[in-house]
Structure 1
Amino acid sequence: MRKRLGIVCLIIAALISGCSSAPQDQPQETGTETATDRTDVEEAASNAEGKSAEATFKDVTGTEISVDLPVEKVACLTEICVDALVELGLKPAAVTAGGLAPEPEFYGEEAASLGQIGGSFFEPNLEDISLAGPDLVIGLEGTHEGLREGLAGIAPLYIVQPRSMQESIEFLQHMGQLTGRIAEAEAAEKRLLDKFNFYKEHSPKDKTALVMYGSDVNFGIDTAGSLVGSMLAEVTQYPWPAPEADGGHQAGGMAYSLEKVLENDPDYIFVETFTFSPDAQPLSEQFKTNPLWSRLRAVKNGQVHEMRTPYGPAAEERGRSASY
């Protein structure tokens, strides 16, 4: 949620900066928690006999999962998990190598102390997961379901795929309940909504925007049916309708062409380049050889913005979750 919100906030900030009425003061984030009584969570963690309570729920695939409360050690196969845990003030038991954990807004240098899961994003190393001794493993829909059997003797696999801001908040709330961090989840939700509502209030409504992504000129876009696109559609004009759901498994991304982009000719274009090496050429640079690129209003007006994106497994996940 932090990473997705960060991208949206940067985009909206760019939109606001293009207006003469741009506000000077922005909401300040604080670490103050919402006053919440944790008694219910603490009591749920142990019953009258002093044994751990058990929570049973279904994940996005409909699979029933049971865990002992509170969940203390979580292995993250998806950055959505890392995102939620940092908001709750928790550290993952293990993360995929090359992910977001070392980013300054996540764990920074402390990420070096986290367990590392080798292999690829699509096929993480089960032995590394086992060595971390997790109580719960979080994976991404459309990618990690096949690991459930292999993880059976290690820990339950909780498959997720938030497709909207509300679903992201609900996942954060659920993780707060499972880990006994309800107050932290509520505080994080408040920070998110305060910042989003501020930008929603001050964003110009007469500008069109587009978020595009890819590693080469065969690119995709975040439609209004994606997490990022749906948030932007609330604050400005975002004329990129959601594609028809593919069997209920469409996260709102779709392959696109410059010809189609030119039809709406957005005022602002925000680019996420998925790279697998730090010296890869930005997507916006690759497009310069296409004459259609130079015809776009955003290009003519210098309003094409490359967003900071990771490379390696985190880029693989962003591409997978955007197009799945």
Structure 2
Amino acid sequence: MNLPRRSLPLVPRRAAQAVAALGAAALLLAGCGSDSGSDKKDSKGASAGEASGTRTVKDATGATVKVPAHPKRIVTLTQEDLDAVLALGVKPVGITNGQGLDKPPAYLADRVKDIDVVGNLLQPVMDKVVAAKPDLILAGDMQDEQVLKQLREITPATLVTMAPTDEWKLSFRGIGNAVNKLDKANKVIADHESAAKAAGAKLGADKGAEVSIVRWNPDGPSWMEKKQFASGVALEMGLKRPKAQNKDGNAHTPSLSLEKIDQIDGDWLFLSTLTSDGEKALKDVQSKPAYKELGAVKKKHVVTVNGSVWSTRGGPLASDVVLKDITKALSKS
């Protein structure tokens, strides 16, 4: 089943004015409230109902879901969900391994050393999820209805947090609202955008350079489309994509043959792999004339980057990594 495109994240009515002021246009405003109905305030200014009750949000499929007003035990099923909650200062109790990995993604490893792994990406082991005793499950772009049914038997507060074509900021705002930290999510995004703009302003002669973003697969290279996560970071910095790669979309192309390898060329070439087979295929092609004739190769403007960051759907912490990778590479030119 293909999930419908979600143009709108999980946002309550009472957040409408705040979200509009922050420029988050076209957000769907879903009802929010507590089951207890009490207006009594505690010492921290929160209503007694909200402190102990639930809120109602809409997930990426448009489904209405009741979630804890202040979730304490969150399980994340994708590294994008994990990236998001960590950026919001929330520590989950269960996580899954990274994309193409049998362990959590390296760029988050220091933050998750003592957190239980409950399965691989979008492949939770149900007994391990049960053992984590979650009060909220963030299920990424899970499309397996049978798995979702099992997860909702563990806790009804199970949310699909992204549709297949959602970009990371949209999903991040939705997750921020789901964990009752929408204001912080908007601040994280604003800070990232300011940092990207400032980094781009310091690029000097490389400002406006064409950046090729490629994942090398066992059967050849795929370039990332214009709206793909890492591409978005580059564009925020004021960089450009090569003409051959200036295509809307947030996916990657089918693997290219050597006859079409010129499509991956640019002023700079950022290369990643996700598997050992991909690494071997890249090493094999690097000795071939077609690869050596690329302009970026001749200028020694080829940078190897972490595929489990650059090839993902993205998040605020992954965005920081991409920003630093690009800045470091172009600052040396």
TM-score (norm 2): 0.66
2:38 to 24, 35, 48: 48
Cα deviation code 1:211-256 (max 9, x no counterpart): 111342433221103122233234222031336xxxxxx6322214
SS in 2 for 1:212: strand
Q: Whole-Å Cα distance in 2 between the matches of residues 286 and 62 of structure 1? A: 46
**What's the offset of the Cα at 1:306?**
0.6
Amino acid at match of 1:296: L
**Residue 195 of structure 1: aligned partner:** 195
Q: Which amino acid in the other structure matches residue 267 of structure 1?
A: D
- Name the stretch that deviates more: 122-131 or 143-152: 143-152
Give the superposition deviation at 1:75. 0.7
Partner of 2:61: 61
Using a 3 Å threshold, how does the CA distance of structure 1 residues 264 and 283 change in structure 2: closer, same or farther?
closer
Give yes or no for contact 2:161–2:175 (8 Å, CA) kept in 1: no
**Contact 1:226/1:242, CA 8 A, preserved across alignment:** no
Answer 1 or 2: higher relative contact order, Cα 8 Å, separation at least 6.
1
Q: Report percent identity of matched pairs.
A: 18
Find the counterpart in structure 2 of residue 172 from structure 1: 172
Q: Which runs of 5+ in 2 are unaligned?
A: 1-32, 40-47, 314-333
- List per-residue Cα deviations over 1:80-104 (Å, max 9, x = no partner): 111111111111110114567574x
Please tell me whether residue 150 in structure 1 is matched to residue 150 in structure 2. yes
Deviations 1:185-236 (A, max 9, x none): 3442232122111123344344221111134243322110312223323422
Matched letter for residue 239 of structure 2: T
Contact 1:138 1:157 in 2 (8 A): yes
Q: Secondary structure at the match of 2:127?
A: helix
In the other structure, the counterpart of 2:224 is 222
Which residue of the partner structure matches residue 293 of structure 1? 291
CA change 1:289–1:140 in 2 (3 A) is: farther
Give 1:141 shift.
2.1
Distance 1:122-1:189 versus aligned 2 partners, 3 A rule: closer
Alpha-carbon displacement from aligned partner over 1:15-59 (angstroms, at most 9, x marks no partner): xxxxxxxxxxxxxxxxxxxxxxxxxxxx96974174444322332
Give 1:296-307 correspondences, 5 Å limit.
Answer: 296-307=294-305
Aligned counterparts of 2:201 and 2:178: Cα–Cα separation in 1: 34
2:214 and 2:183 map into 1 onto residues whose CA distance is 36
Q: Which residue of 2 aligns with 1:241?
A: 246
Q: For residue 304 of structure 1, report the CA deviation from its aligned partner.
A: 1.0
Q: 1:294/1:96 Cα in 2 relative to 1: closer, same or farther (>3 Å)?
A: same
Distance 1:318 1:72, change over 3 A: same
Root-mean-square deviation (CA), in Å?
3.4
CA 1:303–1:67 in 2, change beyond 3 Å: closer, same or farther?
A: same
Please tell me whether residue 71 in structure 1 is matched to residue 65 in structure 2: no
Distance in 2 (CA, whole Å) between partners of 1:91 and 1:134 is: 12
* Counterpart among 194, 212, 223 of residue 210 in structure 1: 212
TM-score, length-scaled by structure 1: 0.68
How many pairs align? Answer: 262
Gaps of 5+ in 1: 1-42, 244-249, 320-324
In structure 1, distance between residues paired with 2:259 and 2:146: 38
Name the CA distance, whole Å, in 1 between partners of 2:211 and 2:224. Answer: 11
Aligned counterpart, 2:86: 86
Say if 1:282 and 1:138 are closer, same or farther in 2 by CA, change over 3 A: farther
